[in-house]
Amino acid sequence: MRKCMLAALRLNGFPCKRPENVTADEFFSAALAFPGNTCNSVGSAVTAANVEKLPGLNTLGVSMSRVDYAPWGVNPPHTHPRATEIIYVLEGSLDVGFVTTAGKLFARAVCKGELFVFPRGLVHYQKNNGGAPAAAISAFNSQLPGTQSLALALFAASPPVPTDVLARALQVDGGVVEAIKSKFPPK
């Protein structure tokens, strides 16, 4: 058990406890036992078990998530700036992929009982490729991997990314950018 000795001390931004004040509950969570609500615009739900929700993970360098997918649901393109992710399919079948910094897409179907790795920091996605719900468990080599959704970063930033910058980068008209932005309310 790697817990800090001083109650007022923080490590990695999270409070440390005196060993005599640590309980087994700080190392336990049932959060991944239950499916998330996939009734949303993308048809997926991510339930995290990281240091923010499971204090016993502080300093251990690991975390997990459960991802539930409605039929044809998508976990949209995103990155984890602080972790590599390995996904294990519990139910169903997923189309998954990541894009290298050279612009090459590595993609394939991953079925129940199979795994796939997404290297740290690379843009990746998962899509349920079937008409029934699917579920997966993701493991990370970080207690707090971070997640940055590409769509939210580009179209829902506050203050907003300038429309002319996005129009030029995406090689589309500014009206197209504004139409996309209207679907993502600012945070």
Read off the pTM.
0.90
Structure confidence at residue 8 as a pLDDT band (50, 70, 90): low
Section 138-163 average pLDDT: 96
- Determine whether the annotation assigns residue 85 to a binding site: yes
pLDDT at 170: 97
Structural domains of the chain, ranges and CATH numbers in brackets: 14-147 (2.60.120.10), 156-187 (no CATH)
- Determine whether the annotation assigns residue 21 to a binding site: no
- Determine whether the annotation assigns residue 124 to a binding site: yes
Q: 3-class secondary structure for the chain?
A: CCCCCCCCCEECCEECCCHHHCCHHHHCCCHHHCCCCCCCCCCEEEEEECCCCCHHHCCCCCEEEEEEECCCCEEEEEECCCCCEEEEEEECEEEEEEECCCCCEEEEEEECCCEEEECCCCEEEEEECCCCCEEEEEEECCCCCCCEEHHHHHHCCCCCCCHHHHHHHHCCCHHHHHHHHCCCCCC
Reported as a single tens digit per residue, the pLDDT across 56-106 is 999 899 999 999 999 999 999 999 999 999 999 999 999 999 999 999 999
- Determine whether the annotation assigns residue 129 to a binding site: no
- Determine whether the annotation assigns residue 128 to a binding site: no
